[in-house]
């Protein structure tokens, strides 16, 4: 074992590996042509699912690709080619499309199940690094994902080739996503339990405080009364509303500091003298993520919620967003 490498020597080795992988990715760009478009159309017209298969490192890439497709609007699953020849090929229906990954294009486990796929009459999309291979020749569509060299100095361990397969697979998934008109809301529905789903699906009305929990005072209330309302409701602010509950302004800790700087009288100063007019507000139908962006942009920690007539209907602060898992 060579332990004589300096830190810079190790860094240089890492950079050299990255450079080789970058070259491998660049080699894919001119190859994305009519065959790529044909593969996309086959997937778009598929009435079943995309069955992704691959052996070894290609299998790991295939598993990731199947997951990416499934979460972006193209139903897909991964099938291990070794298990396929022992019964799992029965998971494939005539309405499905098979996407096979094999850098050599000669993987025994995949070639073993090809006759069964042909009997079913399913379309076969092949990712290989060898256009002359058996798999490339028999595929309905072949995408050449060959690379100039592997990053492995022995040119043995799949490195640049698996990166290329992953990138072209992502390109396929993204092209299908765009062609299907897949939206953020569609994506969130595939991830309902995650933070991403909460950010994309939760609306302000789902987490805002309502009714008596919303701080509000009249414009004629004293500064002292306004402070009591801020304290009681625990949102760090209060809305100032007219008799119809339409918002006139808000009062926050910043307004309090400014009032104290000019020695405002707690018992004589009216709230409409110290409030901030034109306060930031959000509608109940807005996404909670929009409320987060508004808070971050304007460096505030709470928001009032109003309807189309500017009537106060709720309020929320950053702690409500944290509890909901949006932040």
Cβ atoms 232, 258 nearer than 8 A: no
The whole-number pLDDT of residue 188 equals 62
Instruction: Check if the beta carbon of residue 235 is closer than 8 Å to that of residue 303.
Output: no
Q: Are 205 and 214 in contact (CB under 8 A)?
A: no
Question: Phi/psi at 308 (nearest 5 deg)?
Answer: -65, -20
**Per-residue pLDDT, 3:** 65
Of the chain, the percentage scoring pLDDT greater than 90 comes to: 77
Domain ranges of the chain: 7-182, 204-323
pLDDT mean across residues, the chain: 91
Stretch 243-266: mean pLDDT: 92
- pLDDT tens digit string along 165-174? 999 999 999 9
**Average pLDDT, integer, range 186-211:** 72
80 falls in which pLDDT band (50, 70, 90)?
very high
Q: Give the mean pLDDT of 55-84.
A: 94
The residue to which tokens 């086959």 are assigned: 42
- What mean pLDDT do residues 267-285 have? 92
Distance CA 224, CA 281 (A): 24
Q: Is 209 exposed, middle or buried (0-12, 13-18, 19+ CB in 10 A)?
A: middle
Tell me how far apart the alpha carbons of residues 30 and 246 are, in angstroms, rounded to a whole number: 60
CA–CA dist 98, 104 (Å, integer): 18
Report d(CA 326, CA 201) in Å as an integer: 10
Q: What is the pLDDT of residues 133-148, one digit of tens each?
A: 999 999 999 999 999 9
- Report pLDDT for 205: 93
pLDDT on residue 191: 54
Please name the residue ranges forming H helices in the chain: 7-26, 34-44, 57-71, 81-84, 108-120, 134-138, 160-180, 184-189, 195-201, 204-207, 223-233, 253-261, 271-274, 288-298, 318-323
Class of domain 204-323: alpha beta
Using CA atoms in the order 192, 196, 198, 200, what is the torsion angle rounded to 10 degrees? -100
Find the mean pLDDT for residues 94-117: 95
pLDDT at 18: 95
Equal CATH topology for 7-182 and 204-323: no
pLDDT category at 279 given cuts 50, 70, 90 is confident
Determine the pLDDT at residue 189: 61
The pLDDT of residue 181: 87
DSSP letter for each residue of 203-257: BHHHH-B-GGGS-EE-TTSBHHHHHHHHHHHTSSEEEEE-TT-BEEEEEEHHHHH
Question: For domain 7-182, which architecture applies?
Answer: 3-Layer(aba) Sandwich (3.40)
pLDDT of residue 187: 66
**Banded pLDDT at 186 (limits 50, 70, 90):** low
């Amino acid at each position: 074992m060579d332990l004589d490498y300096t830190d810079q020597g190790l860094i240089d080795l890492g950079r050299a590996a990255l450079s080789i992988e970058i070259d491998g990715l660049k080699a894919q760009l001119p190859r994305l042509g009519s065959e790529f478009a044909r593969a996309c159309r086959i997937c778009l017209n598929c009435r079943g699912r995309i069955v992704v298969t691959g052996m070894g490192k290609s299998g790991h890439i295939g598993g990731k690709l199947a997951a990416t497709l499934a979460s972006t609007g193209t139903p897909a699953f991964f099938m291990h080619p070794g298990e396929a020849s022992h019964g799992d090929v029965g998971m494939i229906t005539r309405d499905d499309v098979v996407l096979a990954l094999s850098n050599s294009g000669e993987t025994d486990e995949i070639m073993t199940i090809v006759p069964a796929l042909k009997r079913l009459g399913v379309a076969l999309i092949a990712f290989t690094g060898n256009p002359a291979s058996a798999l490339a020749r028999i595929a309905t569509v072949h995408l050449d994902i060959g690379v100039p060299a592997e990053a492995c100095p022995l040119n043995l361990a799949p490195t640049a080739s698996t990166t290329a397969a992953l990138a072209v697979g992502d390109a396929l998934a993204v092209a299908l996503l765009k062609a299907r008109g897949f939206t953020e809301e569609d994506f969130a529905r595939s991830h309902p339990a995650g933070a991403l789903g909460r950010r994309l699906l939760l609306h302000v009305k789902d987490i805002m405080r309502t009714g008596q929990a919303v701080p509000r005072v009249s414009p004629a209330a004293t500064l002292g009364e306004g402070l009591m309302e801020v304290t009681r409701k625990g949102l760090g602010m209060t809305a100032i509303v007219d008799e119809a509950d339409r918002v006139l302004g808000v009062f926050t800790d910043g307004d309090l500091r400014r009032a104290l700087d000019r020695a405002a009288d707690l018992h004589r100063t009216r709230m409409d003298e110290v409030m901030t007019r034109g306060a930031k507000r959000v509608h109940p139908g807005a996404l909670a993520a929009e409320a987060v962006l508004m808070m971050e942009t304007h460096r505030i920690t709470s928001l009032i919620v109003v309807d189309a007539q500017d009537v106060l209907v709720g309020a929320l602060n950053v702690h409500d967003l944290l509890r909901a898992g949006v932040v």
